[in-house]
Each structure stands twice: as structure tokens, then as C-alpha cells.
Amino acid sequence: MKWNDLQNEACPVARGLSVIGDRWTMLVLRDCFLGVRRFEQIQERLGITRHVLADRLRKLEAAGVLRREPYQERPLRHEYRLTERGKALYPVMVSMIEWANAHVPPPDESSVTLVSRETGKPIVPVMVDANTGKEITHQTVTALRPK
């Protein structure tokens, strides 16, 4: 199966991966969440080739995750901003950070700590069912296919 064919799969994991399923895409999104919006800044931070970055930005724009906005007229230059669809990926990023901090420790002491903007104190992310308030785990929830 070709990578692009994933967007047509019935499986929501496959469809999601068709948009965000490679390392460069998630790293581009990480930088966007950190407020990095310009092509050159993203490229410098990631050490990614211009061709690969342009490709990932085009795909994220086509998927409605990012939108381009001009910030300079001559020469015309754009910055990339998260759309509502893109901002909705923040919990995915938080889950990845929390998982990596717990299961793929950094080689040194420096890592990312998630903190509350309100209190400045570290947070402990937990995914819960809005209906019951119970934590969502592999033991409390299963996925069913429609009949």
C-alpha cells in the first residue's frame, strides 16, 4: 500500500498517519506550537532540507492543518500558522511528550516539562472520558467497528 492511500482507509489511525505520520511533520508542528512560523526559522531549527520542508508544509496546508499568511510583500514571503484543525493536534503532541518522558528518557537531564500557563507548575496529563470522568486506558476502552 502506498503512503498516500492511507487517507482513504477506514481505520482512523491510518487516516491520521496519512497527515502527521512522519518525523519531519511532527517536528514542524512542534515548532509551530512553539511559535516558530517562518520557513527559514523552521529549516534552521530542524536542519531539514528546503525540499523536504517545502513538501511537508504543502501537505500540512493541503490537509488544513496549517495556513499560509503573507508577512512581507517584496519579495513575497509567507509564514505558517496553525488552523483550528492544527491546534486540535496539541493533545497528540502532549501525549507524545508525556510518553517519551516516561519511556524514552533523554540522554542527559534536559528535557521538556509541561507546565500550566496559569500556575507555572508541572502538569500531569491524563486522558479521560468526558461522560464518566474515568481515565482512558487500554483496559478501560476498546475500539469497535460498525457492523
pTM for the structure as a whole:
0.86
Q: Is residue 135 part of a domain?
A: no
Classify residue 78: in a domain, yes or no.
Answer: yes
Helices marked H in 1-147 — which ranges? Answer: 12-20, 23-33, 39-46, 50-62, 84-87, 90-103
Structural domain containing residue 45: 3-83
CA distance 107 to 88: 30
| Structural domain total, the chain | 1
Amino acid 2: pLDDT? 55
DSSP-based three-state secondary structure for 77: strand
The answer to whether residue 32 is domain-embedded is yes
Q: Write the CATH number for 12.
A: 1.10.10.10
pLDDT in tens, 37-46: 999 999 999 9
Residue 133 domain-assigned?
Answer: no
- The reply to whether 94 falls in a domain is no
Q: What is the per-residue pLDDT for 4?
A: 58
Q: Does 88 fall in a domain? A: no
23 assigned to some structural domain = yes
Q: Quote the pLDDT of residue 147.
A: 79
Q: Looking only at Cα atoms, what is the longest distance across the chain? A: 57
CA dist., res. 147 & res. 132, Å (int): 25
- Is pLDDT of 3 > 60? no
How much is the average pLDDT of 3-29?
83
